[in-house]
Amino acid sequence: MAEDGEPLGAGPSVRRRQIANALNLSTVLGLGLAGLGGARLTQGPGGLLLAERYRWSFPTGAAFTVGDVVITSSTFSSLLSRHPDLLRHEEHHAQQWMRCLGLPFLPLYLASMGWSWLRTGDRASRCVFERQAGLARGGYVESPTRPLGPVLARGLRRLQLPLRGRGPRRARPA
Ligand SMILES: [Zn+2]
Q: What residues does each domain of the chain span?
A: 12-101
Q: Tell me, what's the pLDDT at 164?
A: 66
Q: How many A from CA of 23 to the centre of ligand 1?
A: 23
In angstroms, the CA 11 to CA 13 distance is 6
Residue 19 has pLDDT above 70, yes or no: yes
Taking alpha carbons only, the member of 10, 68, 1, 4 closest to residue 34 is: 68
- pLDDT in the model for residue 94: 98
In the predicted structure, residue 1 carries a pLDDT above the cut 60: no
Which of these ranges, 52-56, 92-96, 159-163, 165-169, has the smallest mean pLDDT? Answer: 165-169
Residue 64 CA to ligand 1 center (angstroms) comes to 7
129 Cα–ligand 1 center, Å: 7
The CA 48 to ligand 1 mean position distance, Å, reads 14
Cα 140 to averaged position of ligand 1 atoms, centre (Å): 8
Using the mean position of ligand 1's atoms as its centre, give its distance from the Cα of residue 71 in Å.
Answer: 12
pLDDT above 70 covers a percentage of the chain that reads 90
At a CB cut-off of 8 Å and minimum separation 6, what does 82 contact?
62, 139
57/166: higher pLDDT: 57
CA of 116 to the centre of ligand 1 (A): 13
Mean pLDDT confidence for 37-66: 92
Q: How far is the CA of 93 from the centre of ligand 1 (A)?
A: 7
151 CA to centre of ligand 1 in angstroms? 25
Lowest mean per-residue pLDDT among 2-6, 46-50, 145-149: 2-6
Q: Is the pLDDT of residue 172 over 70?
A: no
Q: Tell whether the model's pLDDT for residue 110 goes beyond 50.
A: yes
Average pLDDT value over all residues in the chain: 90
pLDDT of residue 67: 98
pLDDT confidence of residue 149: 84
Q: What is the whole-number distance in angstroms between the Cα of residue 170 and the centre of ligand 1?
A: 51
Distance 87 CA to ligand 1 centre (A): 10
> CA angle, 46 as apex, 142 and 87 as ends, to 5°?
25
